[in-house]
Structure 1
Amino acid sequence: MTLSIAGFEVSLAPTMRPEDSAASQSAPFRPSKTELPQGFQRTAKSASFPVTTIFEQDVAIPMRDGVKLYCDIFRPKGKSNIPAILIWSPYGKGGNGPHGLHMIEGRFGVPEERLSGFEKFEGLDPADWVGHDYAVLNVDLRGCWNSEGTIPWLGSQDGRDGYDAIEYVAQTEWCSGKVALAGNSWLAMSQWFIAAEQPPSLAAFAPWEGANDFYRDTLCRGGTPYPYQRFWKVLESSMVGRGQVEAITEMLNRFPLYNDYWEDKRARLHRVKAPCYVLASYSTSLHTSGSIGGFNALGCETKWLRVHPKQEWSDLYSEESTQDLRRFFDYFTKNLQNGWQKTPRVRVSLLPYNEPPIENKPFSAYPVPQTVYQKLYLTEGGELSPQPPSSASTLSYAADFVPTQPDHNPEELQFHYQFQKPTWLLGYSKVVLHVSASLPQDLDVFVQLRKMDRSGVILQHMNVSVEQLSPPKTSPEEVSNSCFLKYLGPTGALRATHAGTKISSADPNAWPEYRHDKKEAVLAADEVRRLDVPIWPAGMVFQPGESLVLKVAGHYMSMMEFELLNDHLGLPNKGRHTLHLGQDDCSHLVVPLVEPF
């Protein structure tokens, strides 16, 4: 089997077979139609169905090229002319795969009793929706499980398949002709591509936390594949199907620079016409920038953004979020005049770290119109100063130092700014660094923003409170060092040889963006190069006496999704890196500040 995308022959990797024990709870392929009676529970602990539900299993959906995809359909008995919600992913059709809330201790704060067990991982629970006269379709995308073909890693093929599925479902005897898309993470990323194909029956979609440009947003942030190539390799290796999967990490090894293959992994958001409800959070290390950037790039005017303070699945399955999403879908798929159109265009959360989060602050746009950009200069004394240093100086760190755990690593430079009045840091930051290396190399630099309390302690935010974990914990120290559960602060990265691909902007405060389509020469020993490093969006609350901390290092400084990925293997840097401060080399940080209200 061969696969070609944009003229590039694609590397393929094997998948686990559905029958393999590693594929977890494999459900047998069994096209059938049954009734789940009102009150039905999959297990004694599962949430029950509120109405009698028609459950159609392994229903074939034909694609334009003859390939068949398979889905499970849940719809209320005796109801017709109802909208459908399409849940689209590679993770199995409902509680039957290796991916799920069981992957980490505490179930991300989602108790087993909250869900029916028929939900796709990261998808809506059918039991939450059939009682409100919706059908939910859990689709295994191309090549996954028993669906035919080769598994695509997002891209135009996935978009075309989604178009075909939507139009097929819209013509079923029970459907009103209006179809919605929903889901989180991969399920959100795929929605961008499907909506860009402009399916006529797509009434609304809700990409809740999904990158829209796979290379730039997540796989190779700042042009450096470390460390997220490792995460995506783990996911690639856990795909289940009867064929092969696009080997995305091998393609990055073959094509480390942006080209037409990677362009196929970038959704054409300017083409989107359907109403959209975008969700973002700070906790994800994969999707924050892509979610907010996707909202801004959408071609439709009927769009909303909410930035929440929790772990993504904790928010996805909360009753409040489910009700909010239902209002959105009711308005656009059922024409219910429920006041949704009065919802603020942008709602954001902010993290005090040492107090409960601030949620749902309304704004008209993101970045918010009230933003004032503050330039802070890095000084030899470790301060962030509004005034540039009067003389030149340098600071250095061991770039090849292998860190052991967050906040206990000596080879991380720190710079501090203490606030004198209540302040919000809200939006995109950037740092301009003038850097050299002791040895010739393709230098990577990593930065992070943190909050320090009045006593000098650098803080962490729990994305799910220890009491909400299932079973609960008594302190954060008992919780694994996973970015799913602990958020440190926004990060940024840049590979020095990609600095020349920066997209020009007349706005001095513009967030740096890069084409990543060519390389400059590798740094010679002691050669100084300017690096404009983009830092992901943040929402941080500071009180008088509390401080903003900028960290600079030769390694990634946040936690990975799983502790086994925290060992920092594959670090490319070597020798010492030096920051040049003052005079002609005024390294500085630019932060978006907002007066609290």
Structure 2
Amino acid sequence: MNQEEFCEVTGLEKVPVYWDRRYTKNLDKLSKPIYTVKLEEDVEVILRDGTKTYVDVYHPAELESAPSLIAYSAYGKKMQRMRHGALPGASNYFDHSLEAGDIDFFVERGYTFIIPDGRGIGRSEGEYLGVYNPQEQEDVYDYVEWAGIDCPWSTEKVALLGYSYFGIIQSLVAALQPPHLVCIMPLSYTDDYYQHGYYGGVADTYMNMYWELCPSNNPTTWTSKMMSEDEMKDLIEEVQKDPDIGMNTYFNKMFNVWPPKYHTFYLDYLLHPQEDDFWRPRSMKYKYDQIKVPVYFKCGWAPQGRWSAPVFNAMNSKELNVYKRCGVMEGYNGMELPYRFMNEEMLRWYDYWMKGVDTGIVDEPPMKLNILGAGYRYENEYPLERTHWKKLYLHTFGNLRWEPVVEGNLAPDSFTHRPPFITTEVEKLTYRTDRFSRPTEFTGPIELHLWASIDSDNANFITKVWQITAGGTRMPVSRTGSLKACYPLDEEKSEIGRPVHDYTKKVPVVPGEIKEYVIEINPIGMVFAPGTAIELEIKAMDNFEPQSGAWQAKMDHLGPIPSVKTINYKIYRDKDHPSYILMPYIPSTPPELWLQPICDDDIVIGGSGKGNTH
């Protein structure tokens, strides 16, 4: 089959690079784009407590009813249909909240597509209580049941879809087991919402963005609903005793509005710096046993944030005892919105579960990975059984080597963190390997074992891993690994490549004490080409790059919230204190695991999937 024949048979515009001819079947039975889209705007939906909300319903005009796909977030429903071409992140018009999906693609193929304005969003009544709050989870349950029972354009089959916010909410709703929910497909995912915002226990301004993304008409903090007014005021005062928080004027604005109506979700975030009952209801790792519908998790190899590790946690969870699969599908080139990259895979998934079309998707091995620099392939487990765990040791003169240091009692490397209110400079240490002489694959989890001392009772460790190209360009491999020094390692729960820390209690560091810190770094799936190298970067805060003439919204891009103290770090790397990165080396891959293209004339950018590393 060539590409022209493929498009004629399937009704699709392109051949997906992630489809395999051995497993993809009944292409002629895939839903075809034969319907026109009709919009029913501001349809009233009454939630279980009587709150009046509004949804937009897109349905095939030629059908009386069709199975429903619900895309839910607090980002606002009307803007999800705005179109001005696919926009990359570099565009000044890029809006990360345009994530509901490709409405026309699915409605034209016989699906009803529903987007709500949830409680307190847009014109809907009620209070908006913040991202993924328990009330919101129950409300989406109600939307599922409304679609399954009362929506005049829907059948009794309902699924959830969408990216980011639209993806993460899906499993939380599925855990409530709405009777009419058939399947879910989270296109991004986290199972530990505390670490999503406090990666390694380090506070981050990442969550700050939700203020501008969620058009709430009545924002309210979740914390204020859980305690009395006096308790809330006392908590606000207590949190400000942390100098890293108390000295920040951006945060001060949130603390000094009463009742708390300004930047409500980020205020909630700051009021809960440790894992507690605010975070647990938003975290799927405590609820896996409650999901009863099939799940397809999707993520990318995340150069920053904690996106891919949770997907593998879910795949390994014995409590999540349903049909499940995952795809780590994209590279590091960023995404375009509206999101269309996974349209064809989503169609196979929803056609199978919602329309009974045997697309072959459940016959594939459970994991489909895009190995950067090599192509797509299947795996059956994670970490891979054939992994050779290799230690990449820190040496003197900024070297990273596979051989351990043989000398003891060596003087440490050091750097000094100075807070951003006295300098824009960020001190750091870097360590680099020799250049690879042949293609070398690392796929799996990474952890850094770092022997260090600090002259404070607490500090942040921020780590990044880079690929140095043959031409000298630094490309991100994993730009985020972080740990707040006060959180102890839970050795009992930790697994190789996957350290676990107890974020419910702080154990102050003894200044000057040399101790080993074990830091999770995002999983990787990459072949390093000959002439490239690996570089490790260690610092205390992220790089702050002031823009000439630009003064607004610096906090949105600060990243990890830095310490306001001047702190000296000493990094030890000798025989007695072997600091190293644990790397998941993959010596070879059976040929049958690599994907085989659908079409003979496929042009696959970024690797054909036919390669192998040895």
Length-normalised TM-score, structure 2:
0.74
1:187 paired with 2:201, answer: no
User: In structure 1, what residue type is equivalent to 2:160?
Assistant: L
Deviation at 1:222, TM superposition (A): 0.5
Equivalent residue number for residue 535 of structure 2: 549
Residue number in structure 1 paired with 2:6: none
Equivalent residue number for residue 309 of structure 1: 331
Letter in 2 for 1:317: Y
How many Å apart are 1:206 and its aligned residue? 0.9
**Amino acid aligned to 2:514:** V
Q: Shift of the alpha carbon at 1:505?
A: 4.1
Structure 1 residues 104 and 534: alpha-carbon distance in aligned structure 2, compared to 1, 3 A threshold: closer
Of residues 475, 486, 497, the one that matches 2:486 is: 497
Distance in 2, Cα, partners of 1:143 & 1:103: 30
Match of 1:540 among 484, 507, 526: 526
What letter corresponds to residue 578 of structure 2 in structure 1? C
Are the counterparts in 2 of residues 50 and 127 from structure 1 also a CA contact under 8 Å?
no
Rate the CA distance shift 1:321–1:99 in 2: closer, same or farther, 3 A.
Answer: closer
1:279 deviates by 1.0
**Residue 514 of structure 1: which of 495, 501, 512 is its match?**
501
**Alpha-carbon deviations, 1:34-93, whole Å to 9, x = none?**
xxxxxxxxxxxxxxx963333111112222222233110010123134210000011111
Deviations 1:195-245 (A, max 9, x none): 1111121111111112232111x21000110xx3x2312322543122114
Residues 445 and 370 (structure 1), Cα distance of their counterparts in 2 relative to 1, 3 Å cut = same
Deviation string, structure 1 residues 514-545 (Cα, Å, up to 9, x no partner): 23000002442x22222100001112221334
Q: What SS is found at the alignment partner of 1:207?
A: coil
Say which structure is richer in strand: 1
Which residue in the other structure is 2:102 paired with?
125
SS at match of 2:414: strand
Q: Distance in 1 between matches of 2:208 and 2:494?
A: 38
**Aligned counterpart, 2:575:** 583
What is the match of residue 459 of structure 1? Answer: 474
Matched to 1:271, the amino acid is: Q
1:273-321 CA distance string (max 9 Å, x none) = 2111111113463433334434444714311211121556438733x52
Q: 1:58 to 1:148 in 2, by over 3 A?
A: same
Question: Quick check: 1:281–1:312 contact (8 Å CA) kept in 2?
Answer: no
Task: Tell whether 2:413 aligns with 1:400.
Answer: no
Pick one of 63, 75, 83 that aligns with 2:47.
Answer: 63
Change in Cα spacing, 1:81 to 1:343, as seen in structure 2 (3 Å) is farther
TM-score by length of structure 1 reads 0.76
Change in Cα spacing, 1:559 to 1:186, as seen in structure 2 (3 Å) is: farther
Residue 216 of structure 2 corresponds to residue 241 of structure 1? yes
Alpha-carbon distance in structure 1 between the residues aligned to 2:389 and 2:93: 35
SS at match of 2:41: strand
How many residue pairs end up in the alignment?
498
Is residue 91 of structure 2 the alignment partner of residue 106 of structure 1?
A: yes
Shift of residue 254, structure 1, vs aligned partner? 2.5
The C-alpha deviation readout for 1:477-506, integer Å capped at 9, x for no partner, is: xxxxxxxxxx453420001101x2535247
Q: Provide the C-alpha distance between the structure 2 equivalents of 1:280 and 1:108, rounded to a whole number of angstroms.
A: 24
Could you tell me which runs of 5 or more consecutive residues in structure 1 were left unpaired when the two chains were aligned: 1-48, 111-118, 353-357, 461-486
State yes or no: 1:347 paired with 2:364. Answer: no
| 1:370 aligned onto 2:386 | yes
Distance 1:158 1:212, change over 3 A: farther
Q: Does 1:571 align with 2:589?
A: no
> What amino acid maps onto 1:255 in structure 2?
H
Preserved contact between residue 120 and residue 217 of structure 2 (Cα < 8 Å): yes
Decide whether aligned partners of structure 1 residues 99 and 502 sit closer, same or farther in structure 2, where only a CA change above 3 A counts: farther
> RCO greater where, 1 or 2, for CA within 8 Å and sep 6 or more?
2
What is the CA–CA distance in structure 2 between the aligned matches of 1:161 and 1:348, rounded to whole Å? 34
Counting only pairs closer than 5 Å after superposition, residues 88-487 of structure 1 correspond to structure 2 as: 88-95=72-79, 105-106=90-91, 121-152=98-129, 153-171=131-149, 172-216=151-195, 218-225=196-203, 228=204, 230-246=205-221, 247-267=264-284, 268-283=287-302, 285-286=304-305, 287-297=307-317, 299-307=320-328, 308-310=330-332, 313-314=335-336, 317-318=339-340, 321-352=342-373, 358-390=374-406, 391-393=408-410, 394-400=412-418, 411-437=428-454, 439-454=455-470, 457-460=472-475, 487=476
SS of the aligned residue for 1:89 comes to coil
- Is the 8 Å Cα contact of residues 383 and 415 (structure 1) preserved in structure 2? yes
- The percentage of aligned residue pairs carrying the same residue is 21
Conservation of the 8 A alpha-carbon contact between 2:497 and 2:520? no
Q: Which amino acid aligns with 1:445?
A: F
Conservation of the 8 A alpha-carbon contact between 2:426 and 2:542: no
Q: 1:550-571: CA deviations, max 9, x gaps?
A: 21111236999x9944456942
Q: How many angstroms apart in 2 are the aligned matches of 1:54 and 1:344?
A: 38
SS in 2 for 1:412: strand
Report the equivalent of 1:21.
none
Q: Deviations over 1:398-438 (max 9, x none)?
A: 2227699x9x966333242543432111111001111112x
Amino acid of the structure 1 residue aligned with 2:153: W
SS in 1 for 2:428: coil
Q: Distance in 1 between matches of 2:498 and 2:218?
A: 41
Question: SS of 1:260's equivalent?
Answer: coil
| 8 Å contact from structure 2 (residues 432, 533) kept in 1 | no
How much is the aligned-residue C-alpha RMSD, in angstroms? Answer: 3.3
Q: Per-residue deviation at 1:271?
A: 1.6
Contact 2:36 2:61 in 1 (8 A): yes
**1:183 Cα deviation from its structure 2 partner:** 0.5
SS at match of 1:231: helix
